[in-house]
């Protein structure tokens, strides 16, 4: 008999399993996929670590979480500085003095602020009623038209003036020449990829891959005293209050034999509306790779339907109300612990999942 059956070998499940083992508990970890690591999984192709489920850059402000992951891998000094390609024009992201110089030729923060203010005033939007108005009221028309509109419309599959304003609460604008996307103190990519972290976390723990909890639920539930569930919460309760909605993604990965450097940067966003993908990832640049070939992935946003990978929860009022009903049921469970992005119906960055897993571990086992 196991102490815990852990459904999902992603970050939440693997950290819980590791910490439980440290405390003498016996765990069985299952995952329906054929690999560990969940969406953080990386796979070696042509000597390059490929981020199979989209670019994963580790960043955190929390020293404890940074020290925690550094136990399992050495992190490099990678700094996320994405590039925007708008119909062949190249801009730095996030919006900063380099972006403003390229857009308007301005050289001082004062001039850049004046330009944005001018455009906001001309637009004269006091009560934004949709995403388009919200964005223009925050950063003016030029940035909106070239760097936000097309990308956002592809991301959500709808025109920006039909999207709710609340999606964009604020848009970070920086009046320094700083292309570092994140404001966090710590940032990097594990040298040799993320999968090694999961191999270490799950070392000595029973793991069964290609095992879907819902296909063998009755039998699996008899194997352990408690369940840690990191799958979709609505599925756990047989969709009794309805299906929670997501946006999905399709990844198209290619090895390029005839070039060792396709785009000169790990992440390039395509911000026009005509290009059907939102970004191209060139994986070798995450680790400053010098391999002879290169591997790129185009990322296409898609409508989600059951059977597709659920990537981004759509946390509008309707879905949040349905989630709340499932959450109320979950709160009453004595023998099931829910954790991670799918069980909480929430977009989490990696450091947030680690934080959540460590808090759950403390609740379960004490400090
Ligand atoms: P995760 O989904 O990783 O793991 C859950 C596991 O449970 C999966 O392996 C799944 O197969 C399994 N499972 C589900 N149902 C099951 C069932 N019925 N039976 C058996 N197994 C089941 N974060 C960050 O910090 N920096 C970044 O740059 C990015 N980039 C990024 C890009 C994209 C495109 C996305 C979608 C997300 C990111 N993230 C990110 C977020 C990151 O991916 C996320 O924080 C973690 O993957 C969450 O880990 P979990 O363990 O919660 O879920």
Domain limits of the chain?
2-41+60-78+185-244+314-365, 95-167
Whether pLDDT at 166 is above 90: no
The pLDDT of residue 126: 86
Shortest-distance atom of ligand 1 to CA 59: 25
Closest CA to 199 of 18, 7, 1: 18
**CATH code for the structural domain at 2-41+60-78+185-244+314-365:** 3.40.50.720
What pLDDT is attached to residue 167? Answer: 84
Q: Is 227 helix (H, G, I), strand (E, B) or coil?
A: strand
How much is the ipTM here?
Answer: 0.99
Residue among 174, 181, 194, 234 flagged as catalytic: 174
162 CA distance to ligand 1 middle (Å)? 29
pTM: 0.96
For the chain, what percentages of helix, strand and coil (3-state, to nearest 5) are there?
Answer: 35, 20, 40
What is the residue whose two structure tokens read 């009794």? Answer: 240
Whether residue 117 is predicted with pLDDT greater than 80 in this model: the reply is yes
Cα dist from 83 to 109, 129, 151, 264, whole Å: 21, 29, 13, 10
Alpha-carbon gap, residue 182 to 287, rounded angstroms: 18
Task: Compute the distance between CA of residue 238 and CA of residue 38 in angstroms, rounded to an integer.
Answer: 22
Q: Is pLDDT of 367 > 80?
A: no
Pick the closest to residue 87 from 296, 279, 275 (CA basis). Answer: 275
DSSP symbols for 230-274: -S-HHHHTTTTT-PPPEEEEEEEEEEESS-S-SSSSSEEEE-SSS
Pocket test for ligand 1, best of 18, 39, 355 (most atoms within 8 A of CB): 39
Q: Where are the alpha helices (DSSP H) in the chain?
A: 11-22, 63-70, 97-104, 109-123, 131-139, 141-143, 149-156, 195-201, 217-221, 233-236, 317-331, 340-343, 350-365
Are 4 and 225 spatial neighbours (Cβ–Cβ below 8 Å)?
Answer: yes
pLDDT at 200 over 90: yes
Mutation probe of ligand 1 site: the residue of 9, 10, 227 with most atoms within 8 A of C-beta:
10
Length of the chain: 367
């Amino acid at each position: 008999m196991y102490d815990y059956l852990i459904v999902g070998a992603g970050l939440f499940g693997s950290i819980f399993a590791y910490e439980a083992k440290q405390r003498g508990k016996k765990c069985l970890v299952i995952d329906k996929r054929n690999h560990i690591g969940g969406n953080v999984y990386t796979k070696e192709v042509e000597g390059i670590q490929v981020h199979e489920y989209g670019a994963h850059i580790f960043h955190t402000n929390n020293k404890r979480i940074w020290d925690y992951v550094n136990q399992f891998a050495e992190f490099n000094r990678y700094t996320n500085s994405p590039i925007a390609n708008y119909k062949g024009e190249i801009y730095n992201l996030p919006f900063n003095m380099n972006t403003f110089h390229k857009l308007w030729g301005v050289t001082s923060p004062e001039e850049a602020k004046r330009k944005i203010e001018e455009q906001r005033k001309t637009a004269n939007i006091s009560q934004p009623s949709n995403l388009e108005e919200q964005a223009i009221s925050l950063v003016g028309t030029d940035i909106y038209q070239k760097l936000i509109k097309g990308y956002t419309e592809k991301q959500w599959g709808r025109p920006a003036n039909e999207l709710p304003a609340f999606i964009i609460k604020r848009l970070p604008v920086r009046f320094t020449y700083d292309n570092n996307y994140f404001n966090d103190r710590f940032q990097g990519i594990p040298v040799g990829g993320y999968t090694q972290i999961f191999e270490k976390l799950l070392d000595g723990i029973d793991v069964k891959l290609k095992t879907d909890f819902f296909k063998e639920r009755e039998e699996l539930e008899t194997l352990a005293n408690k369940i840690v569930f990191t799958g979709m919460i609505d599925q756990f309760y047989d969709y009794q209050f309805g299906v929670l909605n997501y946006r999905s993604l399709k990844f198209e990965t290619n090895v390029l034999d005839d070039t060792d450097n396709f785009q000169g940067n790990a992440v390039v966003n395509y911000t026009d509306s005509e290009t059907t993908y939102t970004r191209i990832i060139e994986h070798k640049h995450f680790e400053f790779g010098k391999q002879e070939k290169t591997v790129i992935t185009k990322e296409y946003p898609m409508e989600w339907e059951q059977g597709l990978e659920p990537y981004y929860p759509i946390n509008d009022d309707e879905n949040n109300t349905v989630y709340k009903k499932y959450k109320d049921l979950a709160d009453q469970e004595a023998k099931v612990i829910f954790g991670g992005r799918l069980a909480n119906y929430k977009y989490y960055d990696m450091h947030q999942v680690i934080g959540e897993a460590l808090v759950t571990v403390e609740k379960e086992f004490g400090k």
